[in-house]
Amino acid sequence: MKFGATDWDLVVQPKKITLRTEAPSERDFKKQRDKVAQLDLYYT
Output the pLDDT for position 20.
75
Cα–Cα distance for residue pair 15/4, rounded to 1 Å: 26
Buried b or exposed e, range 3-34, using 16+ CB within 10 angstroms: eeeeeeeeeeeeeeeeeeeeeeeeeeeeeeee
Coil/strand/helix, residue 36: helix
| 1-44 tens-digit pLDDT | 567 777 777 777 878 877 777 777 888 999 999 999 999 999 97
Coil/strand/helix, residue 35: helix
